[in-house]
Structure formats: C-alpha cells, structure tokens
C-alpha cells in the first residue's frame, strides 16, 4: 500500500483552488442536508462512487461543513496515475492483494485521532448514479471494529441534476449511521440502502 504524504499547506492550497475556482466554474449549486455532528469524534465518511468528482466533493464538504483533516482511501492503480493527490491525504488500497488488511488498519489508525476524517467509497468501484442499491463491502466492518477511540460514521448519497442550468448541480443527502461503538454491519447496510432509495425519489 501507499501511505499518505499529506502536506498541510499543499492540501490547503488545493482546497482553496477547488473551493474558489474549480467547483464554482463547473457546478451551479452544491447543496447538502445536515446531520448532528458529535464533538470529539473523528468521522468515517462513506459515499456513493459514480464519478471523477466524488473525492473532490468529499474534500469540499469537509472544508465547509465537517471541519476535520481530510484523508481519502483510493484504489492503488487510480492513485498511481495521479500521485499529486497523495500529498493531499490520499492513501491506497489494493483489493487484489493481501495488503488489504494493512490498508484497513491504516485507516482505522487515522480514525483513532478525533481531528481526522477518512473518506471511503464502500462500493469499491464506480457504479452508475442511477443504481438503487449500495453495496457495502465487508472491509468497512473490519475497519470500524479496529478503531480505538470515538468515531462517527456518516454516509451520503450524491446526485447530479441539471434542470434549467447548463451547469450541473449536486445534491448530497447525508445520513448519520451512529458511532463505532454501536456499529452493526447488517443494520447499517440496510439503513443506508433505505436512505438511498428514499433520496432517489426526490434527488433535487
């Protein structure tokens, strides 16, 4: 696995570029719902994965809403193609190798610090935005069980819509999935799928 080589000022600079220039240029509106954020907890952010932008949106939301130090888990071959993200807090996972456990443990260690936020795409691959089922890989369960300290698990479904604008708008539907102490894999999976189906009825 490739560990992150986060440099605080590089990440900050990249975030400012995203926030002030790249996202306003590309998108019309980014709208998110709100959940109760627990103080003193790190955040494990789960997202649906359907586009190139997902990681950047997660970074954007962290910057404007979650206010934690941003880390993201990426597929190893994807990260190798764009190593600059490595300096912004990306580390890798290779699902085909035995180092999966190592990556999950690495993420759990990061989450043991309450100042951190780790973004994970639980589907493990790019799936259509129109899909009405979210597959949560077993690794999430393993990762959450390994966290020492307090961590809040948050999921969001993002949807891209156009309507009257030529530029797309993105709508984030946030869901609080509890903390690592009361984490039940099957229950959370069912909850996330119900939430996603509900959100899909009225995405915008």
Partner 1 sequence: MGWIFDVYARNLVERHFYKINYNPVEIEKDRSILLIANHFSIWDGLILYWLAHRLLAKKFHVMILEETLKKEPMLKYGGAFPINKGSKNMIHSIDHAAQLLADPQNLVLIFPQGKLYSNFVSDVHFEKGVMKIMDKALGKFQLIYAATFIENFQHKKPAVNIYLSGNTNCTFENIEALNAGYQQHYNAARLLQTKIVL
Closest listed residue to residue 180, CA positions, set 72, 74, 101, 108? 108
User: Mask: binding to partner 1, 141-180, rule CB under 8 A, as x and -?
Assistant: ------------------xxxxxxxx-x------------
For partner 1 (CB under 8 A), the number of binding residues is 26
Distance CA 155, CA 192 (A): 7
Name the DSSP letter for residue 135.
Answer: P
Residues 6+ apart with CB under 8 A from 66: 37, 43, 45, 117, 154
| 114 contributes a contact to partner 1 by CB under 8 A | no
Minimum distance from CB of 81 to partner 1 (Å)? 10
* Contacting partner 1 within 117-146 (CB under 8 A): 125-132
Minimum distance from CB of 26 to partner 1 (Å)? 8
Closest listed residue to residue 155, CA positions, set 125, 182, 194? 194
User: Mask: binding to partner 1, 51-90, rule CB under 8 A, as x and -?
Assistant: xxx-------------------------------------
Is 127 within 8 Å of 48 (Cβ atoms)?
Answer: yes
Which residues of the chain form contacts with partner 1 (CB under 8 A)? Answer: 26, 50-53, 125-132, 159-166, 168, 200, 202-204
């Amino acid at each position: 696995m490739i560990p992150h080589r986060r440099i605080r000022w590089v990440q900050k600079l990249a975030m400012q570029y995203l926030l002030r220039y790249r996202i306003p240029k590309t998108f019309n509106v980014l709208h998110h719902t709100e959940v109760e954020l627990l103080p003193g907890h790190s955040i494990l952010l789960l997202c649906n994965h359907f586009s190139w932008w997902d990681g950047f949106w997660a970074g954007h939301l962290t910057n404007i809403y979650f206010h934690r130090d941003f880390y993201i888990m990426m597929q190893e071959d994807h990260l190798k193609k764009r190593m600059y993200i490595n300096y912004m807090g990306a580390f890798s996972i290779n699902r085909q190798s035995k180092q999966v456990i190592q990556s999950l443990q690495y993420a759990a260690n990061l989450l043991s610090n309450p100042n951190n936020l780790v973004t994970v795409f639980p589907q493990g691959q790019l799936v259509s935005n129109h899909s009405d089922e979210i597959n949560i890989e077993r690794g999430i369960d393993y990762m959450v069980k390994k966290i020492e300290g307090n961590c809040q698990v948050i999921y969001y479904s993002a949807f891209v819509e156009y309507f009257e604008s030529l530029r797309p708008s993105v709508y984030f539907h946030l869901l609080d999935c509890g903390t690592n102490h009361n984490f039940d894999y099957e229950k959370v999976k069912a909850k996330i799928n119900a939430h996603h189906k509900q959100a899909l009825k009225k995405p915008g």
